[in-house]
Structure 1
Amino acid sequence: MKNLQIKTLLLFFSICILSCNSNKKIGRENESTIYNVEEDDVEMNKAIEKAKQTLDSFDFAFKNNTRVFTFFGLKKKFEENGNVEHIWIGNIQGIEEGKYIGVIDNLPEKIKSVKLGDTVQIEKKEISDWMYIKKSELHGGYTIRLLRERMTEGERKKFDVESGMKIK
């Protein structure tokens, strides 16, 4: 799978969790779609919890990276001036002093302290999802899976074609 397809996937699945907004999509011209989710969304909170509980699977794959893995990403929870936004971090470069180092892969909507392309540190407690791609198959990506389930059939088909990955 090409990295361009992964970028498309992450841009398609930017997610903001905002306490004041209902479940809805925000389309931005030439930018990623943002899915607003209430902070008390039970299913989303379960997906985030599952990601936290299974982070060891990401760590194992990352530390044992071979050519079969084509992408590693982490979603980090950012908080600023009462705003909360969960942003995908790609190009995971390593782990230093217990923190992952990676690059902002989504254009933030509400958070102004980081921008697309910034290198950031991610503490384990800040992670709200993780993913890697192995032989075109998504591993992790629990929030992605949930949002995909919530799509219409047409949206799911479009997503599957654009992402080029298999979700089982």
Structure 2
Amino acid sequence: MQKFAMLLAIALAAPVAAHAQSQPTPKTTPRPAHDRIVDVAKGDPEMQAAIAKARAELPGFFARSAAPQSGDSYFLVKYNLTPQGTAEFIWAEVIAHKGDTTIARLINNPRAPGFAKGQQVTVRNADIIDWGYVKNGVMQGNYTTRILLPHMAPAEAAALRRAYGW
């Protein structure tokens, strides 16, 4: 059965310190030396449903990111960094969005050569599989991460739930 890698959103805790001074963010968790990757079977029905839900709600996400409400911060998108090769789904923080294009900054440490954490990327809306943002300290969206939680060690999943206010 073919698999593809999903970079786990545990890396979202890494940039928290930069945001914590002025905006509410998820509670921090110890930062691993590398980003956690969870492999999921290609076509997994739960993951496909999570992706469909995120894509259906994408217009609302971009409307919210364009006009954040009090307590909103840290707007993210998840997309396939390497669509021509083995899939590597990765999170990036939204810098700007216009039309069907998002300019974002990678927040995970990519496996793929030629990419680096912090690198600015251009992402087409059609390539986005998930989104998330923090609302009053609680992570919103992040549907693919929610599907990955049962595939993690219980302590790791519990730490992530606490970090995201779930």
- TM-score band by shorter chain is 0.7 to 0.9
Deviations 1:1-39 (A, max 9, x none): 982365967x98xxxxxxxxxxxxxxxx71111011111
1:108 aligns with 2:107: no
**TM-score, normalisation: structure 2:** 0.76
1:99 to 101, 118, 121: 101
Kindly indicate whether residue 97 of structure 2 is the aligned counterpart of residue 120 of structure 1.
no
For structure 1, the 5+ residue unaligned runs are 13-28
Contact 1:3–1:70 (Cα < 8 Å) also in 2: no
1:32 and 1:107 in contact (8 A); partners too: yes
Name the CA shift for 1:61/1:81 in 2 (closer, same or farther; >3 Å): closer
Contact 1:131 1:140 in 2 (8 A): yes
Q: Is the 8 A contact 1:7 1:105 kept in 2?
A: no
- Name the amino acid aligned to 2:57: T
Q: Write out aligned runs for 1:4-153 (5 A).
A: 4=17, 30-79=33-82, 82-90=85-93, 92-109=94-111, 111-153=112-154
RMSD: 2.7
Q: Per the alignment, do residues 151 and 42 of structure 1 end up closer, same or farther by CA in structure 2, a change over 3 Å counting?
A: same
Q: Name the amino acid aligned to 1:119.
A: Q
How many equivalent residue pairs?
146
Residue of structure 2 equivalent to 1:166: 165
Structure 2: runs of 5+ lacking an equivalent: 1-12, 18-24
Alpha carbons 2:26, 2:137 under 8 Å: kept: no
Counterpart AA for 2:74? F
| Distance change >3 Å, CA 45–CA 6, structure 1 → 2 | same
Alignment partners' CA distance in 1, 2:150 and 2:137 = 19
Partner of 2:9: none
